[in-house]
Amino acid sequence: MELLDFAKTDTAARLRAAAKRGALSHALIFSGSGDRVSAARYAAAAMECTAESKPCLACPACRKVMQDIHPDVTFVRDAEHKELSIDTVRAMRADAFIRPNEGARKVYIFEDCTILTEKDQNVLLKLVEEGPAYAAFFFCAENPAVLLQTIRSRCVEVKLSPTVEEGGAPDERALELARLIAEGSRASRAAFLAKLETQKVTRDDLSSLFEGTRLLLSSALLGQYGVSVPERDLRIARSLASRLTKAKLLGTIDLLQDYRNKCTYNVGVGPTLGGFAVELEETL
Ligand SMILES: [Zn+2]
């Protein structure tokens, strides 16, 4: 499972909704048998994202989180020991009190909580309770019972199931639109969008078309930065990346995001499609 697959799940939608309300907890436990680390990385991107709809997976902050090079997102590891040494935890605690380098938050991800000793956890508990407001702590544990009850009671648990059930392939229309952006002509794109209007698509259909296409373009963009692209999206991602510069990919991603947001208001399908068709050609 890849982060971009996780982005399509219901759990990801709930994280986005919480981030939008500014209600994403600073202490999260990612539990269950799904891809906990991708989920934690996604939530970290939501914390650092500079776009309105968090995480956009396209802004510089999101891209750095996805590439694991964001200076304010730390995977707490201890390669030299089987368990996380108390020195590592103390060093991490000291680091947490230094303000973020460039992001809004400092995020610490514990990708395997079975390596946390009781001593580690007691230090972490204090930090979760009394740490600086900008600090966030994401714990990944298949079974959250490996964490002390006192820590668990201060965290919000996000239960993950294997994504095959939740995620799924991008919708056919999104794939077609992405293909036309990569390989089609202006006339073929106009025809595709005009046809949608005659097919009486709903605002929800449009919203998932824009979002599905946006995710495919995000895949293409992130692929350019060395982030692995889901196997299924590889061909279209390569095609998009060869047709569009990074700047144009970004511009189109922003446009798709704008139009997806418009779909949450009571806009007409026809005018939305018409406006999108014009702006798309201006962007490409
Ligand atoms: Zn972003």
Record the tokens describing residue 220, joined without a space: 């293409």
- Domain extents in the chain: 3-166, 172-283
Alpha helices in the chain (DSSP H): 3-6, 10-20, 36-48, 60-66, 86-96, 118-130, 149-152, 163-166, 172-183, 186-198, 203-224, 234-243, 246-262, 269-283
| Distance between Cα 55 and ligand 1 center (Å) | 5
| Distance between Cα 61 and ligand 1 center (Å) | 6
Three-class SS state of 256: helix
| Distance between Cα 10 and ligand 1 center (Å) | 19
Distance CA 131, CA 110 (A): 16
| Distance between Cα 197 and ligand 1 center (Å) | 31
| Distance between Cα 67 and ligand 1 center (Å) | 13
Three-class SS state of 29: strand
**10-residue averages of pLDDT along the chain (284 residues):** 73 90 94 91 95 90 94 92 92 97 96 95 96 97 95 94 55 91 94 90 90 90 84 88 92 93 86 94 93
Residue-level pLDDT at 52: 86
Residue-level pLDDT at 24: 93
| Distance between Cα 123 and ligand 1 center (Å) | 31
Cα-based angle 242, 247, 248 (whole degrees, multiple of 5):
60
Residue-level pLDDT at 2: 65
Of 258, 262, 261, 264, residue with least CA distance to 280: 258
Of 51, 12, 63, 64, residue with least CA distance to 219: 63
* Domain spanning 3-166, CATH architecture: 3-Layer(aba) Sandwich (3.40)
Return the CATH number of 172-283, one of 3.60.21.10, 1.20.272.10, 2.40.170.20, 1.20.1070.10. Answer: 1.20.272.10
| Distance between Cα 45 and ligand 1 center (Å) | 7
Residue-level pLDDT at 96: 97
Residue-level pLDDT at 165: 43
Measure CA 107 to chain center.
Answer: 15
Residue-level pLDDT at 190: 94
| Distance between Cα 280 and ligand 1 center (Å) | 21
Cα-based angle 55, 111, 117 (whole degrees, multiple of 5):
140
Of 47, 43, 63, 55, residue with least CA distance to 104: 47
Of 232, 169, 171, residue with least CA distance to 201: 171
